[in-house]
Structure 1
């Protein structure tokens, strides 16, 4: 029987996430959509928020589908839904139908994002039991970096063909690429799994890769909910800071609008690199210590932002926070596999990602509401510091539980 090259599986997963992560380039489309349709900025922005919300919620049941039908099927479903969502977004702009924008990009596109995001991660972990953190870090890094690839391409297409045709063109490209790479994302056979597990040198897993709990069993444990809350806090604070990075920089350091826009681009790089670097580190020092360290860094940097009135210090501080924000996504599946095994990892990971759906609403709302109440970002940062401290205490408690079970 022909053996599958595990690196082909990993590269296919990275490419799939590169296509899906293009959703982070939504801000490129905002002004052209507003000019063509006359819709308000908040109306256009809501389509993106709805897509992220649907991503988080759909990941829960899509994880079940990965376990039942395999990653090829869910990858293909993702290709169809995400491509169709983008193409119908073009139709919505042409016809100036706001409800269709929400249905196409927010719901169909969001469901496609959820199906595709969950598809490769648990599969790649099964192929790399010796490097769980690095493997998932690489795949999820693709999602973080995608906007750097998509933004310039989308800008050129919009200038040459207009915004609605851009969605038609990209929708077709997404479908072809995602459909093709999904066919290479397959689970290891029993024989391959046994061989990989025998060769594995994983030190930090409490559960053998090929064994573990079902999703229903995992949902009855304290460990799952501790991780869920930690992820929710990390994403809420990270998204809150991302959503106001530019105005915060201008308000707190006197940075120009142009410089602040450049800073936002730099933050995207650190968001992507953070997913890989922290995850790779976790293979050496363990997931519990890594998650605790990133929360300590977030706590210290949030405090530094209170007094960072010099632009360069503010940029460095925000960049470090962004590595921690991105790291939460890449550490999660490896951490879950350490505790619960990979038996139904896709389903467990899917349920955990509901924290992303909730945080996508909570983070930006928390930041904007505290700013409106107190008319400064100081109070907001103080609130974030308290919340990060709660997450840190929970992480220390979870570390103790994990050690007890080792």
Structure 2
């Protein structure tokens, strides 16, 4: 487990702190997709044959779990360090997508609740606080900048994911109609999961903590 320990990611004294910014933001750019979930609302309503409220609760559950897991695991994130917490967060976030994909393929909406909302939501909470904590350590002289960079990454994730998700659903579904995008839901979720897996893994590998001196 030494690869995931705090001691394994201590940067040398001459390390340029700006290099840690993209590594820390890798997870926020991934989990920020949750705020682009609305692009899936109508395709899911079409696919599952349910109303807007039934699909909207998926997002609500994910955000609820974000707050709950942030409160419960905040001290754990601080104790194990950003690499371990980013790996756990990324694993839960990606697993949530795969479980949701299973729900889409089998027509079981509750699996989307459990996967994207519950499992993925826990990953959201752990992943949300890790970059903020890390950047605050690197920029003690600019705490506002550190927080702003982290929040920017979270918003940027939604800004990228919303149009990308639409394009993927249209490409996989073969058209721009709601029925076409509904047909492209399953491969879109798989594609997003694989992309986020790579991005978060790269960020976790590159993340560093400042040297004590």
Confirm or deny a common fold (TM above 0.5): yes
Aligned position for 2:205:
183
- Measured after TM superposition, the shift of residue 57 of structure 1 is 0.5
Alpha-carbon distance in structure 2 between the residues aligned to 1:100 and 1:81:
14
Question: Which residue pairs with 1:153 in the alignment?
Answer: 164
TM-score scaled by length of structure 2: 0.85
Within a 5 Å distance, the mapping from 1:265-276 to structure 2 comes to none
Asked if structure 1 preserves the Cα contact closer than 8 Å seen for 2:24 and 2:134, the reply is no
Q: Deviations over 1:354-390 (max 9, x none)?
A: xxxxxxxxxxxxxxxxxxxxxxxxxxxxxxxxxxxxx
Runs of 5+ unmatched residues, structure 2 = 1-10, 173-183
Larger Rg: 1
Q: 1:95 matched to which residue of 2? A: 106
Aligned residue in 2 for 1:126: 137
1:114 maps to which of 125, 128, 134: 125
Separation (CA, whole Å) in 2 of partners of 1:11 and 1:119: 13
1:68 maps to 79
* 1:107 CA displacement: 0.6
- Normalization by structure 1: what TM-score? 0.46
Match of 1:52 in 2: 63
Matches within 5 A, 1:105-254: 105-161=116-172, 162-191=184-213
1:160 shift after superposition: 1.5
8 Å CA contact 1:70–1:186 kept in 2: the answer is no
Cα contact 1:62–1:74 (8 A) shared by 2: no
Whole-Å separation in 2 of the counterparts to 1:170 and 1:155: 12
**How many Å separate the matches in 1 of 2:157 and 2:75?**
26
Pick from 12, 21, 26: which aligns with 2:32?
A: 21
Aligned to 2:53: 42
Tell me by how many angstroms 1:125 deviates: 0.8
Deviation, structure 1 residue 169: 0.6
1 CA distance for matches of 2:204 and 2:27?
A: 7
C-alpha RMSD of matched pairs (Å): 1.3
Q: Which segments of 5 or more consecutive residues in structure 1 lack a partner in the other structure?
A: 192-406
Matched with 1:83 is 94
- Alignment-derived partner of residue 277 in structure 1: none
